[in-house]
Structure 1
Amino acid sequence: MRKINRIYLKLFLIYGLTFGLLMTLWDYLDEGEIDIIKLIFMTVFFGGFMSWTTIKNLKKTKIKANGKNELNEEDFKATQVKYIPKIITLDSAFERLKKYDIENSWHLKINNSRIEGKTKISWISWGEKILISFLNDKIEIMSKPRLKTQMIDTGKNRQNIELISHILNEE
């Protein structure tokens, strides 16, 4: 089975089953009975539509995995992490990132040996939490959704990781 088909099936199950369970509970609590044919139709339709739009949107934003022109499961993970060599200090990294603060609407602060930030809610996402940790010999860059229940993103966290990596590696 092709990677994209497995991803589509996984998304279909996540969206469809979650929606189906919630609608079954709603019908039971509201009407006291369950119309199984209606729920199966709605579950399949909703799961199919949502998984199709998610994959279409990700292809549209042209997320490329490892320089290839295809999507893989890593592109669908909401939390993205990247390690880069430690070639900059915490304070100079913070100053470099502050230059981009207004342009990207990031709210950054230094907390112990890491830089923490968050983005605002937009049409694309509910906002991201950005953590840049300065370890012994490397820097860990993590971008994850602010909404803890979010399982899939539209590539915004990967974009944050790549932008921060580029800014910190500038000469």
Structure 2
Amino acid sequence: MSEFSTELFMPTDSMEAVQKLLAAFESLPRVKMVRRVDETTVEARTGVSFKSWGETVDATVTAVESGSRVAITSRSRLQTTLVDYGQNRENVEQVVRRLNAV
């Protein structure tokens, strides 16, 4: 299975970080569904493109001193995908860019 992950620090409390993640996920291209899994986890699913059969993008927020740590992962929905042509990396980078712009 193909996937890409990263972590970043946000100088906000965890509840505000989750709200910003929801907005960032909803602005992803090809997004089909965004949902809040629990108080600290957000998940989005993207549709099919010429690069992949769709991805699941999730982020988990952990409260740390003076802010929040956000772990973002994008993985191909089709488990037999070996090469995603950079689509998972692109998904994660788009979320990070949108979070930095807010």
- Shared fold (TM-score greater than 0.5)? yes
Matched, 1:134 2:61: yes
Q: Distance in 2 between matches of 1:164 and 1:79?
A: 15
Structure 1 residue 150: Cα displacement: 1.2
Q: Name segments (4+ residues, structure 1) moved above 6 Å.
A: none
Q: Distance in 1 between matches of 2:24 and 2:83?
A: 29
Partner in structure 2 of residue 28 of structure 1: none
Partner in structure 2 of residue 30 of structure 1: none
Structure 1 residue 95: Cα displacement: 2.6
| 2:70 match: secondary structure | strand
Structure 1 residue 148: Cα displacement: 1.0
- Greater share of strand residues, 1 or 2? 2
| 2:101 match: secondary structure | coil
Percentage of matched positions with identical amino acids:
22
Superposed CA RMSD: 1.7
- Greater share of helix residues, 1 or 2? 1
Q: Distance in 1 between matches of 2:84 and 2:4?
A: 10
Partner in structure 1 of residue 10 of structure 2: 86
| 1:153 match: secondary structure | coil
Q: Distance in 1 between matches of 2:24 and 2:4?
A: 21
In structure 2, relative to structure 1, the CA distance for the partners of 1:96 and 1:159 (3 Å cut) is closer
- Given that 1:143 and 1:161 are in contact with CA atoms closer than 8 Å, whether structure 2 keeps it comes out as yes
Greater RCO (CA < 8 Å, at least 6 residues apart): 2
Q: Distance in 1 between matches of 2:54 and 2:45?
A: 7
- Given that 2:24 and 2:95 are in contact with CA atoms closer than 8 Å, whether structure 1 keeps it comes out as no
Q: Under a length normalisation based on structure 1, what TM-score does the superposition of the two structures give?
A: 0.49
Greater gyration radius: 1
Gaps of 5+ in 2: none
Matched, 1:149 2:80: yes
Q: Under a length normalisation based on structure 2, what TM-score does the superposition of the two structures give?
A: 0.80
In structure 2, relative to structure 1, the CA distance for the partners of 1:95 and 1:82 (3 Å cut) is same
Gaps of 5+ in 1: 1-76
Matched, 1:123 2:54: no
The residue identity in structure 2 corresponding to 1:82 is T
The residue identity in structure 1 corresponding to 2:2 is A
In structure 2, relative to structure 1, the CA distance for the partners of 1:151 and 1:96 (3 Å cut) is closer
| 1:159 match: secondary structure | helix
| 1:150 match: secondary structure | coil
| 1:117 match: secondary structure | strand
